[in-house]
Amino acid sequence: MEYDRARRLAAIQARLAPPPDAAPVDSVSSGTNASLIPAPRHLPKAWTRPSEREEREMKRELARVLQRTIVRDSGYRQAATCVETLVKIASNIQSSPDPKFRSLKSDNAALKHKVLAIPGGREYLVMMGFRVYTANFVQSFVLDQSDRRMYELGIATDVLREALPDLQSRVTGSNLSKTSHKAEEAARIAAAKRQIEDDRNVVRERVERERVVRDVRAEAEAKAEHERKVQEEREEAEERAKAARREARGAGARATHPHTAPNMTFAAAHGEDEEFQHEYPSSDGEDSDEGYWNQRRWGQGNKLGK
């Protein structure tokens, strides 16, 4: 991974560096043979500002890396944070000649998490004019204060500043969407809780009504059962009283009329009327001597034989 990244950085640096051409012959002469002496080939060629067409191509390449790598592979929130950090780094360098702003250590927490950890962040630093150096096993991104590097920094920063408002608006929209979604979710949860509570209240009311109905029904059944038992006891008491009265009347009749006592006992045993009617012998038996009327005649002092 580190090897591939180093290769990509080297390729970007090679693409941004001008091709090594032969140095022009110094036209300034101080003698007759001075114009025939070429300039040393190891001296770098003087940098010239790119044309408008080349500048547009550079901006197009920078925008491609920004949109297709940083934004697409990271998302709007992380991409906006990375762009804001890069703009801040460039603003510090452009506003102050202090060399500390032109040297960035890779172990810096803000640089590491906000730029280097974002896909395309390291490549964009190189396209801004920074070069990678290693000292004491720590990588540093250093920007020299040459016209070329400052120009590259300015072009890359312009592309970042143009893209930053759109990224920030998208992040704001995403935050609003999340806030709205959270509010809708909270409202939905609250409505669901209210519905659950309403259902519980309905169930409690129904259970209470059923309990009241059961209690009333049980009370009515208990009352009816009590009245039935009282009625049965009353009827049993009346039956016992009637039986006692019949028994007492039967005993009194036997004591008063010993000859008719069996008839009275028979009538009482067969459940005849409470007011016992004395049974008299039938008048059909002419030859009966033991009838009631014979007793009356005998008791009246009539003479025998009459």
The CATH code that applies to domain 2-16+49-182 is 1.20.58.2190
Question: What is the Cα–Cα distance from 269 to 155, expressed in whole angstroms?
Answer: 136
**Dist CA 109 CA 87 (whole Å):** 17
Tell me how far apart the alpha carbons of residues 81 and 87 are, in angstroms, rounded to a whole number. Answer: 10
For residue 3, the model assigns a pLDDT of: 61
Quote the CA–CA distance of 277 and 256 in Å, as a whole number: 14
- Domain range annotation of the chain: 2-16+49-182
| Average pLDDT of the segment spanning 260-264 | 50
- How much is the pLDDT for 18? 54
The amino acid present at 22, given as its one-letter code, is A
> Which range has highest mean pLDDT (125-139, 164-178, 186-200, 246-260)?
125-139
Average pLDDT over residues 91-115: 90
Tell me how crowded residue 65 is: count the other CB atoms within 10 A of its CB: 19
The larger pLDDT score, comparing residue 276 to residue 81, is at: 81
Split at pLDDT 50, 70, 90, the class of 180 is: low
pLDDT of 303? 53
Checking if the pLDDT of 58 tops 60, the result is yes
How many CB atoms lie under 10 A from the CB of residue 183? 10
Give the per-residue pLDDT at 260.
52
Percent of the chain with pLDDT over 70: 67
Amino acid at 69: T
- Mean residue pLDDT of the chain comes to 77
Residue 140 pairs in a beta bridge with 105, 133
> Residue type at 110?
A
Continuous segment of H or E residues that includes residue 220: helix 147-256
